[in-house]
Amino acid sequence: MGKCKFCGQDAGFMRRAHKGCKQAHSEGTRRILEIAAKAAVGQSDLSTVQETLQNVASSSFIDAGLLGELLARAWDAAVSRALEDGVLSEAEEHALVAFKERFSLPTDMLDRTGAHTRVVKAGVLRDVLEGNIRQRVRIEGTLPFNFQKGETLVWVFQNVPYYESRTQTTHSGSYGGVSVRGAKGVYYHLGGFQSKPVVTTATVLVDRGILGITNKHIYFAGKAKSFRIRYDKIVSFTPYTDGIGVQRDALSAKPQVFVTGDGWFTYNLVTNLAHLAS
């Protein structure tokens, strides 16, 4: 006799579950996801929801481990719903945080699909748009940057490829002079080397390192290069799907590109910080 994987009782020959148990489990899973997703965006009282979810889980053969996974899935769905318009309101953020804390959901569990990071990024952008500069990122250890007085770290990107636009000049052409034989096997060329310059521009990988974004500067620190760029020294910003390009205000300056993995967030962050700094 097989055992039912839900209730643990005999399920019959070559059977793994009772039909009724399986149905109760499926219905309970659906209800938990629906109830939790609404609660995560502040549409329900959390104390009442917690009791309801526990009762549904108990009657649907859902243990504590699976319940936690379902709550994380519901939180993820709530984040997507809250960010449909591209903006996370303060009320939506408070509701999401309250749900996370109420059910003691670990950050790493909520960030498996990047949902937790998206919430933090959306909160950072809202702060900047409202002119409220504060540090939300948590840094383990020390950063290789020498921040100035009154400077606030807003965001940090790790392992960022840094590219520069390089111009190379080569010459092509041929000898236009006359060859005069002086001795056996020796030739002396009369006349100059006639050629023209060929200028090519390429974007090359220069380094990889940490990119720090503050309210005053963009910082970069790698093994080969380290520098900071003041916002009022940047002429233009170029958005890319996976990063951002900047052009400094200098005759010899070449375009610089940072690949952060999230071009939309990076562009909106630095352009708004630059606006505030001006």
What HEC string does 214-228 produce? ECCEEEEEECCCEEE
Token look-up 């996801």 returns: 33
Distance (Å, whole) CA 273 – CA 215 = 6
Buried b (16+ CB within 10 A) or exposed e, 166-187: eeeeeeeeeeeeeeeeeeeeee
Delineate the domains of the chain, giving CATH numbers in brackets. Answer: 2-129 (no CATH), 153-167+202-277 (2.30.29.30)
Residues 6+ apart with CB under 8 A from 212: 143, 145, 153, 155, 156, 157, 218, 219, 220, 221
**Higher-confidence residue: 190 or 30?**
30
Q: How many other C-beta atoms lie within 10 A of the C-beta of residue 156? A: 18
pLDDT score, position 15: 83
Are 123 and 87 within 8 A, CB to CB? Answer: no
Alpha carbon 12 to chain centroid, angstroms:
51
Spell out where 85-192 has E strands. Answer: 153-175, 178-183, 186-190
**Higher-confidence residue: 190 or 108?**
108
Spell out where 119-152 has E strands. Answer: none
Alpha carbon 138 to chain centroid, angstroms:
15
Report pLDDT digits (tens) over 75-119. 999 999 999 988 899 999 999 999 999 999 999 999 999 999 999
Structure tokens given for 132:
């409220």
**Higher-confidence residue: 64 or 202?**
64
**Alpha carbon distances (Å) from 182 to 18, 101, 106, 186, 192:** 104, 92, 86, 6, 18
Whether the model pTM is above 0.85: no
